[in-house]
Amino acid sequence: MNISESLNLAVKTLQANRLRSLLTVLGMIVGNAALVATVSVGQGAQRYTSDLLQNLGTKLLFVMSNTGDARREAQQTNTLMLSDAEAIAAQIPSVKEVAPQINFPTLVSYGSEAIRTNAIGTNESFESVRSFPVAGGRFFTAFDLERHAEVAVLGAELAQRLFGTWSPIGERVRLNNTSFRVIGVMTAKGASSGSNQDEAIFIPITTMANQVAGRTSTNGIAVNFIAVAVQEDASLDIAQYQITNLLRLRHKISGADDFTVRNQKDIIRAANNVTGGLSLLLAVTAGICLVVGGFGIMNTMLASVTERTHEIGLRKAVGASQMDILQQFLIEAVLLALVGGLSGTGLGTAASLVIGIYTPFKAGISINAVILAIGVSSAIGLIFGVVPAQRAARLDPIVALRNLS
């Protein structure tokens, strides 16, 4: 019997037991759907995370103060200061611009509206360093910083919540009982780095330190962190090394650093490793579902061998070889697994598209995941179909026909 005849017979046999066939392939459907969906959504999560971090700006380094044991070991009282940012900008050739930042939770009010949000004190380089331009009006300038100007730029969501469809430019909002004139509105950017900057209010860092957050001291203005934009033709690693050496000299450090310089590429890589690890864990779970589905196929095929003992005996009596019987049952097992694999792949693809519509994870369809799911399904059908097929092929035709009436 050739393969086409065996395939035709397998289709007819499975169609004759539709409900049992459907219940048998259910595990394969669920496993394949889960595998395709988790791989596709995992890739979407990686892209989403990378996009968020890229939204921080390009070719960036982040300089942050250390806390805890490292600070105590270093026995330093210095924190990152505004003067550190100025020194980085002036003394390191590979640095293009710097944007020091002070974050301060506060209440912003206009008329009867009052919103709890995050105030960000920074300098005139923030727009270009963080790739975050204004949509209307202007950002503050170096002159605004020099005269501690009481001017503010609103995030897109904050402007909408306070002013609705009206333009806020020229209006005054209150921040910590101080009146600020709105001079601009930022473009909508969305959440990044664990915060939504569209809901923030931006003011000059000098105004923030002196009138809002109280960050001035005998050592100068303390900042939360410093974003450093590196020249396009410069290496992030070289700039990171130079900044580290400069700050160690400025802070007179001989032991553990009281600061950390983080590379944007390292942050993206770490985030991708986390999302990739979670995707792998989910894919392994889906793989376990496929194996369970394989056992379901084996169980069904073993039951089929018992039910079709007389059929096997008759076929052997009229000249069918062991290879013909083996081939017949293997084709049925693979066909069950393949139908489950194709159905599950279709279901997983549809689930990925739906998830992409209703979540930020724009899940593209992974061709590799589809090929892997279908290939693994066929392999499982082949592997788990071997035992029943061998049992059928080795059946003695005399025993098979003994009770035939």
Quick one: 48 and 102 in the same domain? no
CA atoms of 320 and 262, how far apart (whole Å): 71
Tell me which of 294 and 73 has the higher pLDDT.
Answer: 294
Q: Above 80 in pLDDT, residue 50?
A: no
Q: Does residue 88 belong to any structural domain of this protein?
A: no
* pLDDT for position 74: 38
Quick one: 36 and 110 in the same domain? no
Quick one: 390 and 280 in the same domain? yes
Q: Does residue 361 belong to any structural domain of this protein?
A: yes
Range in 43-47, 225-229, 343-347 with the lowest mean pLDDT: 43-47
pLDDT tens-digit series, residues 255-285 = 888 888 988 677 677 767 777 777 777 777 7
Quick one: 124 and 212 in the same domain? yes
Q: Above 90 in pLDDT, residue 320?
A: no
Q: Does residue 18 belong to any structural domain of this protein?
A: yes
Q: Does residue 247 belong to any structural domain of this protein?
A: no
* pLDDT for position 195: 63
Q: 273-279: long-range contacts at Cβ-Cβ below 8 A with a sequence spacing of 24 or more?
A: 275/42, 275/45, 275/46, 275/49, 276/42, 276/46, 278/42, 278/45, 279/38, 279/39, 279/41, 279/42, 279/43, 279/45, 279/46
pLDDT tens-digit series, residues 184-226 = 999 988 655 456 789 999 999 999 988 887 766 667 888 989 9
CA atoms of 247 and 91, how far apart (whole Å): 11
Domain boundary among 168, 191, 224: 224
CA atoms of 185 and 188, how far apart (whole Å): 9
Quick one: 117 and 176 in the same domain? yes
Tell me which of 109 and 279 has the higher pLDDT.
Answer: 109
Quick one: 282 and 354 in the same domain? yes
CA atoms of 221 and 210, how far apart (whole Å): 9
Quick one: 276 and 398 in the same domain? yes
Tell me which of 76 and 334 has the higher pLDDT.
Answer: 334
Residue 259, helix vs strand vs coil = strand
Cβ atoms within 10 Å of 11's Cβ, excluding its own: 14
Q: Above 70 in pLDDT, residue 38?
A: yes
Question: For residue 154, how many C-alpha atoms fall within 13 Å in the half-sphere facing its CB?
Answer: 29
Confidence at 68, pLDDT banded by 50, 70, 90: very low
CA atoms of 289 and 294, how far apart (whole Å): 9
* pLDDT for position 58: 58
Q: What is the dihedral of CA 197, 203, 206, 209, to 10 degrees?
A: -60
Range 49-60 average pLDDT: 65
Average pLDDT of the chain to the nearest whole number: 80
Q: Above 60 in pLDDT, residue 237?
A: yes
Structural domain harbouring 156: 96-224
Q: How many domains does the chain have?
A: 2
Helix 309-317 × helix 322-358 angle, to 10°:
130
Q: Does residue 231 belong to any structural domain of this protein?
A: no
Provide the H-helix boundaries in 251-321. Answer: 264-307, 309-317
Q: Does residue 59 belong to any structural domain of this protein?
A: no
Residue 78, helix vs strand vs coil = coil
Quick one: 278 and 345 in the same domain? yes
Tell me which of 195 and 353 has the higher pLDDT.
Answer: 353
Q: Does residue 178 belong to any structural domain of this protein?
A: yes
Range 68-73 average pLDDT: 40
Quick one: 306 and 393 in the same domain? yes
Do residues 201 and 62 lie in contact, with contact meaning Cβ atoms separated by under 8 Å?
no
CA atoms of 79 and 250, how far apart (whole Å): 11
* pLDDT for position 365: 66
Confidence at 364, pLDDT banded by 50, 70, 90: low
Confidence at 331, pLDDT banded by 50, 70, 90: confident
Q: Does residue 76 belong to any structural domain of this protein?
A: no
* pLDDT for position 67: 57
Tell me which of 72 and 119 has the higher pLDDT.
Answer: 119
Tell me which of 239 and 279 has the higher pLDDT.
Answer: 239
Range list of β-strands (E), 124-258? 134-137, 151-154, 172-175, 178-186, 191-192, 195-196, 201-204, 216-217, 220-221, 225-230
Residue 314's identity, in one-letter code, is L
* pLDDT for position 394: 73
Q: Above 70 in pLDDT, residue 108?
A: yes
Output the pTM of the full model: 0.61
* pLDDT for position 369: 67
Quick one: 113 and 219 in the same domain? yes
Domain boundary among 208, 224, 240: 224
Range 173-188 average pLDDT: 92
